[in-house]
Amino acid sequence: MQVALAGCSTIDDPDEPALVAALDRLGVRATGVPWDADVDWSAYDLVVVRSTWDYVERLPEFLAWADSVPRLANPAAVLRWNTDKHYLAELAAAGVPVVPTTYVEGEFVPPPGEYVVKPTVSAAAMDTARYGPGDDAAATAHVERLRAAGRGVLVQPYLRAVEEHDETSLLFLGGVFSHGAMKGPVLVGDRALTPVETVIGPRDPSAAERAVAEQVLSVVREPLLYARVDLLPGPDGPLLLELELTEPFLFLDMAEGAKDRFASAIAGWRP
C-alpha cells in the first residue's frame, strides 16, 4: 500500500517521522508530499490530508486540488464543508451545543461584554482577537480589515471559564475515540492579533464531553479518517468551539499508542 501524507512545503509536521515508521511496521509505505507538489496523486492508494497548514490564503486552489485527488481522506466534500466556519450554524441547527456564533453580514454592532472576532476561514487562531468594553473602535477596524480582504467574519462571546478549565480536544481515529488533550487559553493578556503560546497536555475527557463529541460527529454524514472535536466549558455544559476535519494537529504524543492507532486506521481505510 502506497500512502501520501499531504503537507505543505513551509512547515514540517512533527508527527510525520513517527507516523511513517508506524505505517512501515504495518507494511504501508508512506511519504510526505506537499499538497501543491506536481505529482501524480492517482499513483497512491490513499492520500491523507495532514499538515496542509498553508491552505487558508489559497482556499480555492486547495479545494480544487482536493477535488482532483481520486482517493482522499478526509474526503473533498468534508474539506469543502469544514474549511468555512459557517458549518457551526448547521451543527447548531441540528441541536449541537455550539458556542453562540453570529456571522457579520451587514453592519457590525459590537456585542456587550467580552467577545472574539475571527475570520470564517482561518487556522491556528490567526487574525483572531478578543475584545471588550472600550474596544469597539478596534474591533470594528478588525472586522472592516477582514471584510475588505473578502473574508467572512464571525463573532462569539469570550468564555472566561477557559482560563480556569482550559480547552478540551477529543481525537477520533478511524471513527473511534482515541484520546483526549487539553490546550490552555490562547486569547489572554493583550488583545493583539497574534495568539500567545499556550500549554498543551493529555486529558481524560469527561462523560459530558464525550457525549457532546459523539453528538457532533453523528451529524456528519461522510466517513472520517480522523476528527478533532474542540470543546470549551459553557455555563450549562461543554460547548463546541470547532470541529477540525481538515488538517488538525492530532496530539499524537498525548497518549500511548496513538500513532499506532492512527497508522492502523490509515492502513485499514478504504475510500
- Whole-number pLDDT of residue 164: 84
Q: 197 falls in which pLDDT band (50, 70, 90)?
A: low
94 close to 215: Cβ distance less than 8 angstroms: no
> For residues 193 and 176, which has the higher predicted lDDT (pLDDT)?
176
pLDDT at 29: 98
In this predicted structure, what is the pLDDT of residue 195?
Answer: 45
CA angle 55, 57, 61 (to 5 degrees): 60
CA–CA gap between residue 169 and residue 186 (Å, rounded): 14
**Measured distance CA(44)–CA(37) in Å, rounded:** 14
Residue 92 DSSP code: H
Cα separations in angstroms, 45 against 1, 5, 185, 270: 6, 11, 39, 9
When pLDDT is averaged across residues 30-54 and rounded to a whole number, the result is 97
Domains and CATH numbers, the chain: 2-78 (3.40.50.20), 87-97+161-267 (3.30.470.20), 102-157 (no CATH)
Coil vs helix vs strand at 135? coil
- CA dist 146 and 28 (Å) reads 43
| Cα(89)–Cα(132) distance, integer angstroms | 24
Render pLDDT for 92-129 as a digit per residue (tens, 0 to 9). Answer: 999 999 999 999 999 999 999 999 999 999 987 788 99
Q: What is the pLDDT of residues 140-163, one digit of tens each?
A: 999 999 999 999 999 999 998 888
Q: What's the rounded Cα separation, in Å, for the pair 186 and 248?
A: 16
pTM reported for the whole predicted model: 0.94
Q: Is 195 exposed, middle or buried (0-12, 13-18, 19+ CB in 10 A)?
A: middle
pLDDT at 186 over 80: no
Q: In the chain, pLDDT over 90 holds for what percent of residues?
A: 86
